[in-house]
Amino acid sequence: MKHNFGAGPGILPHEVLKQAAASVVDLNGIGLSILEISHRSVEFEAILDEAIKLVKELLNVPEGYSVLFLQGGASTQFALAPYNLLPEGGKAAYLETGVWANKALKEAKFFGETMVVATSKESNFNYIPKDYVIPTDAAYFHTTSNNTIYGTQLHEFPKSPIPVVCDMSSDIFSRTINVADFGLIYAGAQKNMGPAGTTLVIIKDDLLGKTGRKIPAMFNYQTQIEGGSMYNTPPCFAIYVSMLTLKWLKSKGGVPAIEKENDTKAAILYSEIERNPLFKTVCAKEDRSKMNVCFVTENPEHEKPFLKLCDEKGIVGIKGHRSVGGFRASIYNALPITSVHVLIEAMQEFAEKNK
């Protein structure tokens, strides 16, 4: 058995994989594969409708918001957010907490003035900036809820006088949020929702159509809303697997239930890192991510031997990002707590052998 701690594409529920695999051959007994049916067919329209319904239900999306399944990954949204929300001659504010926040900031510069309200770049993004002031004259304030590379997370979102745009790619559906606090939420599917290939967008409708610029149809949120996420052929299989994953999440009790599981997984893993003399965390305790647990060995020479031990125990995807080093245990929704226990036991065994 493999224990998949990969940062993304991440682990999916086993029952979802089984159903998705069967549907590649025959979708619900219709004699056709999910890969070959028309996106305009009754069968796929029902899948898309169900996926949107589940998003709204699981996140308690209020009236006045539209839910979209788009293509291009969250990286495309780095550009589409300012394209659709930043007026010509306007300004956007950004909280710089890591690589992805920085990339979003760079894309926004093509569309108008940008300002960084706070950054933790000087400390290699090992904490979340605090006590900053959000400007009232900006069109929106952009945040990244969870930083996969550095293992930090916004545990509380700031009260903002302007619309908040948030990249939730790596912790969407992992914890309770108030959608009404945001003007735009976007998230690549491949962490907690499904396979790579589709991106969830939740947009407050009354923010659109105010930029004063012409936007090409494919890049215009309003066009995508009017087309029901089907202005062009959507990523049918990725949406289908996302729908199955959301159904799985609902069956487990929804976001509040999975949040409790995630809290427990994170708590026991961080507890072992703190207790174990061979390991240490790399970021501020109050900002530690509950999705991507980043840690290193006290002795750098222990890194390769520990990775070898993990490999022997079927622990995969544990190697840290090159900009941080060490290890990164991504404990997304679908990762069972038994896998976390296997990792903890490996850490204890390694410490016992290297006293």
Question: Is 157 within 8 Å of 166 (Cβ atoms)?
Answer: yes
- Helices vs strands, H then E, count in the chain: 9, 14
pLDDT of residue 27: 98
Residues 131 and 196 placed together within one structural domain of the fold: yes
Claim to verify: residue 150 and residue 246 sit in the same structural domain: yes
In a domain, 163, yes or no: yes
Residues 180, 38 share a domain: yes
Q: Which of 191, 204, 247, 290 is catalytic?
A: 191
Quick one: average pLDDT of 195-224?
97
Q: Do 243 and 261 have their domain in common?
A: no
**Residue 6 forms part of a structural domain:** no
Instruction: Identify whether residues 262 and 228 lie together within a single domain.
Output: no
Q: Is residue 5 part of a domain?
A: no
Q: Do 147 and 235 fall within a single domain?
A: yes
Instruction: State which of 232, 251, 270 marks the end of a domain.
Output: 251
pLDDT of 322 = 86
Give the tens place of pLDDT for each residue, 242-281.
999 999 999 999 999 999 999 999 999 999 999 999 999 9
pLDDT value for 289: 98
Q: What is the mean pLDDT of the chain?
A: 97
Q: What angle do CA 118, 123, 127 make, to 5 degrees?
A: 65
CA distances, 132 to each of 158, 159, 180 (Å): 9, 11, 22
Answer yes or no: do 223 and 277 share one domain: no
Asked whether residue 62 carries a pLDDT value surpassing 90, the answer given is yes
Q: What is the mean pLDDT of residues 322-333?
A: 94
Phi and psi torsions of 56, nearest 5°: -65, -40
Position 323 scores a pLDDT of 83
Sign of CA dihedral 99, 106, 173, 192: negative
245 lies in the same domain as 284: no
Domain-embedded: residue 1: no
- Mean pLDDT confidence for 315-325: 92
Number of domains in the chain: 2
Strands of the chain, DSSP E: 3-4, 65-70, 91-96, 113-119, 141-144, 146-147, 152-153, 164-167, 184-188, 199-204, 279-281, 292-297, 315-316, 327-330
Any catalytic annotation for residue 280? no
**Is this model's pTM higher than 0.75 or not?**
yes
Is there a single domain that holds both residue 196 and residue 218? yes
Q: What percent of the chain has pLDDT over 70?
A: 100
Q: What's the domain range around 335? A: 254-353
283 and 237 in a common domain = no
Q: Is the domain of 276 the same as that of 293? A: yes
Is 191 designated active site? yes
Mean pLDDT along residues 151-165: 97
Looking at 228, 251, 274, which one is the last position of a domain?
251
pLDDT of 324 above 90: no
Q: Supply the pLDDT for residue 355.
A: 81
Would the pLDDT of 1 be above 90? Answer: no
Of 167, 171, 204, 290, the catalytic one is: 167
Residue 149 lies in a domain: yes
Say if 339 falls within a structural domain. Answer: yes
Angstrom distance (rounded) from CA 111 to CA 271: 45
In this structure, the answer to whether residues 169 and 300 fall within a common structural domain is: no
Distance of CA 251 to the CA centre of its chain: 21
In a domain, 8, yes or no: no
Q: Is position 205 annotated as part of the catalytic site?
A: no
CATH of the domain at 229: 3.40.640.10
Residue 202 in any domain: the answer is yes
85 and 183 Cβ atoms separated by less than 8 Å: yes
pLDDT digits 0-9 by tens, 91-123: 999 999 999 999 999 999 999 999 999 999 999
Q: Select which of 2, 26, 100, 248 is catalytic.
A: 100
- The residue from 196, 230, 251 where one domain ends is 251
Average of pLDDT values for 219-237?
97
CATH of the domain at 265: 3.90.1150.10
